[in-house]
Amino acid sequence: MVARRLFRYILPHYKLLMVSVFFGVLVAGTDAATAYLVKPVLDDIMIARNEQLLILLPIGIILLFIIKGICTFVQQYTVKVVGQLVVQDIRNQLYRHMLDLSLRFFQERSTGALMSRSLNDIDIMRGAIAKAAIVIIKDTLTVILLLALIFYQSWQLAILAFVVMPLTYFPVRAISRRIRKYTRFAQAKIADLSQTLQETFSGIKVIKAFGLEPQMTDHFRQTNQRYFSFTRKAIKGGSAASPTVELFTGFGIAITIWYGGTLVVQGTMTTGELFSFMAALAMLYKPIKQLLALYATLQASFGAAERVFDVLDTEPEISEPQSPVEVPLPIHEVAFQGVHFAYDSHELVLEDINLRAGRNEVVALVGMSGGGKTTLVSLLARFYDVTRGSITINGVDVRQIGRQQLSKLISFVDQETILFNQSIRYNLQCGNASASEDDIWSALRSANADVFVSNLPEGIDTVIGDRGIRLSGGQRQRICLARAIVKDAPVLILDEATSALDNESEALVQEALNNLMQNRTTFVIAHRLSTITHANQILVLDKGRIVERGTHQELLQYDGVYRRYYAMQFSQTHTEKDVVSTGDSQV
């Protein structure tokens, strides 16, 4: 099953593979010719004393090995290129497929495990495919030609020599199965190692702040030890395969010497014929051993391939509509109608959500953590599909909108600032690849980011580090806002975009947000209620339900959840101001 699937990736590169096969035939032919030349060396030169052949034969052998060297180079080069192309195709397909999978897929799997499958597992496949192609092409052809030679020289002796070879299949098969099992276990542990490294590097500040170096070192050592344990068992199996074949090979050679020597003594075979047969037999055992050992190598590769194909066989939860519907512009209305949603089949996270938002309107979502606010806007962006009900944009269900168009309709600014380790220009053009330099600087001005960007060493071409680490929190957030402005989507989602900022940064970002929300339908998730007093409607969510809705003033007049939230924040704010003023007076 796995082998057939891998073979389908090889087929597109059959032309290059045929070149390798052609030169593999030539290499195998030179091996057979080398074995055959042992006969004239002994019978005609050593015994018959043929001086003319003594001059010609060495020249022929030199030419033979020159041809073999050139053919071996071309054969191995082409077949390794095929192996690399196959792995490149698989890695590209895996990456593209993972991008098509839903957020749920990534939430249920560790980053380290996915990285391990994309890098380590595929690298194991690459090594096995290259080795398999070389062995199968070169060694199989060598075996065929050498077999033809030894059966031509003495079919009785050939049968005796190979009577023990079929017996090697059974121990090698048992060993290979163990290798496959332990290789799969080892790859699972290398995924754990990758995850530990990823968490260490991304959380190094926390590790140092809490003095977690000893615990993290111990955890890494234990995970590494488990990886070593499974790898050692796979190595043990691989090391046992070769001696097993060698043992049976020894029996075959012993039988050949006994019976062949008897034929020479009886005069029915010349010394040169026997040594030519022995040379061919000795050369034959190596490719046979390679072919048998290849079975063990392939089993290890199949274990890695199964892990890769597990991901490739995962069906995307969010499917592209068969006949996408174009949404007419401009956007006049976004509507949730009877929306229910559950992450699994048991507990509803959102229940009976109904709301309408028009052009240039701001809808604010407030409530306690876990109330379903982020889930609600995630359904609009179609990170997940609703369990029941519908979400429409200008009357078109989002499930009927092509994913590319839906992406162009919605800008998303999250509380977690995701920036790439590229230039500011690159990060802003993620929103719109065709954005000009004027567009970029206009967006930066609207996001209150133009001043600090212009002061960077290379301006908008400054590389900002992993996740934008070279910028402050407020600067990163403003770059994310500028990216949304560059995208210029008619629907905007702001998920606590100012929650982690200081007062000065928040003021700059809030001004940028006000610029960004103009002429758009905006959904705002806010922790600080002071930032949403201007909203056209505020929805209070509690346990997945809308329990209150209205404007800021309307909700304050109603003695409900929103008023209590507001009173709590208002009292906290005044308390903080009193503490500051008291401290100032004491100073």
The radius of gyration of the chain's CA atoms, rounded to the nearest angstrom, is 36
pLDDT in tens, 185-232: 776 676 677 777 766 766 665 666 666 777 778 877 887 787 777 777
pLDDT of residue 577: 44
pLDDT in tens, 401-435: 988 888 889 888 887 778 888 898 988 888 788 88
| Torsion sign over Cα 428, 432, 434, 440 | negative
Mean pLDDT of the 72-85 span: 84
**Backbone phi and psi for residue 333, each to the nearest 5 degrees, phi listed first:** -155, 140
Query: Cα(293)–Cα(488) distance, rounded to whole angstroms?
Result: 59
Tell me the domains of the chain and their CATH numbers: 2-312 (1.20.1560.10), 333-559 (3.40.50.300)
| Torsion sign over Cα 378, 379, 382, 386 | positive
User: Helices 503-517 and 437-446: crossing angle, nearest 10°?
Assistant: 120
If pLDDT is split at 50, 70 and 90, which confidence band does 530 have? confident
**Backbone phi and psi for residue 481, each to the nearest 5 degrees, phi listed first:** -65, -40
- Residues 33, 64: contact at Cβ < 8 Å? yes
**Backbone phi and psi for residue 13, each to the nearest 5 degrees, phi listed first:** -110, 30
List, in sequence order, every residue forming a beta bridge with 396; answer none if it has no partner: 393
573-587 CB burial, b ≥16 within 10 A, e <16: eeeeeeeeeeeeeee
Query: Cα(187)–Cα(234) distance, rounded to whole angstroms?
Result: 11
Query: Which residue in 516, 428, 441 sits closest to 480, CA to CA?
Result: 428
Question: Per mean pLDDT, which range of 30-34, 299-303, 407-411 is the poorest?
Answer: 299-303
Strand 350-358, strand 333-341: pairing? antiparallel
Whether pLDDT at 578 is above 60: no
pLDDT of residue 586: 34
pTM of the model: 0.70
Query: Cα(280)–Cα(286) distance, rounded to whole angstroms?
Result: 10
Count of other CB atoms within 10 angstroms of residue 33: 16
Question: Per mean pLDDT, which range of 58-67, 108-117, 167-176, 187-196 is the poorest?
Answer: 167-176
- Residues 392, 563: contact at Cβ < 8 Å? no
The single residue listed with the structure tokens 């199949």 is 302
pLDDT of residue 500: 52
